[in-house]
Structure 1
Amino acid sequence: MNEESSRLQLLHFARQVVEQQATAALTQIDQWIADEERREAERRRGELARPAPPEWLIQYGLNRTNVDAVHTGDCWAAAKSGRCHPASREQAVDALTQQVPPCLHCRPDTALGILE
């Protein structure tokens, strides 16, 4: 009888251990879910708070004084140069009329309606 009683106690103990482990695992997963939901909400808030990209960009030379090119605001080549500054439509048109070359990839002269 003592062996059966010990076996039953061991089974109850094993059940308690499994229950504790499952509860701990669920708590950890719930924390991971909450963390991910918080990150996703922060990402969405960041996207909403991000200012609109400029329509036009002026690319400056290495010495930061010479104007090298005019780009549209979403030009991939301008993003790689790191030397571009936002510009108004008027500034972009003015630069192009003063013989600043348009980007060969995004063709801001075509987008602005300026034909050579």
Structure 2
Amino acid sequence: MSDSASPEERLAKLRFLERVQLNQLAQTRRWIDAAEERAAEHARRRPPPPPPDWCVQYGMGGRAARPAMVHTAECWIPGAASMDAVSREQAIEALTRGGVPPCVLCRPERELGVLD
């Protein structure tokens, strides 16, 4: 902007610039909204992740308590609501170094090849 412009002209130019930038910001926000909607739609169409192969059950006190048992994902024990999915490596770690016993029904140690 020219320094020779009067204060009124300078202010008018700045207000015009502000309107242009606000319009650009509004357009950018519309593009973001549309992109978020497309991403959400894409996420809804994606199939759910496969069920875990291994689970760790927690005793009384839930996840704050020490792990109580390692299970295969197919095992279903009544009342075992506090369970977390774990990787194969985590299940082996829990059985071998963590001192967590295997389930006597589903026998995860057999599939994992430990504690034979």
Query: Which residue of the partner structure matches residue 75 of structure 2?
Result: 75
User: Structure 1-normalised TM-score?
Assistant: 0.53
**Which structure 2 residue ranges, 5 or more long, are not aligned?**
1-43
Report the Cα distance in structure 1 between the residues aligned to 2:109 and 2:75, rounded to whole angstroms: 13
SS in 2 for 1:76: coil
The CA deviation at 1:80 is: 4.2
Report the Cα distance in structure 2 between the residues aligned to 1:49 and 1:72, rounded to whole angstroms: 22
Query: Which residue of the partner structure matches residue 60 of structure 2?
Result: 62
Report the Cα distance in structure 1 between the residues aligned to 2:68 and 2:92, rounded to whole angstroms: 14
What amino acid is aligned across from residue 89 of structure 1 in structure 2?
R
Runs of 4+ in 1 over 3 A off after TM superposition: none
Q: Is the 8 A contact 1:53 1:74 kept in 2?
A: no
Q: What does the per-residue CA deviation read over 1:8-65, in whole Å, with 9 as the maximum and x for residues that have no partner?
A: xxxxxxxxxxxxxxxxxxxxxxxxxxxxxxxxxxxxxx9x833211010011122222
- Pair 52,104 (structure 1): closer, same or farther in 2 beyond 3 Å: same
SS in 1 for 2:91: helix
What amino acid is aligned across from residue 92 of structure 1 in structure 2?
A
- Over the matched positions of the two proteins, sequence identity in percent amounts to 45
Report the Cα distance in structure 2 between the residues aligned to 1:106 and 1:50, rounded to whole angstroms: 25
What amino acid is aligned across from residue 85 of structure 1 in structure 2?
D
Bigger Rg over Cα: 1
User: Structure 2-normalised TM-score?
Assistant: 0.53
Greater fraction helix? 1
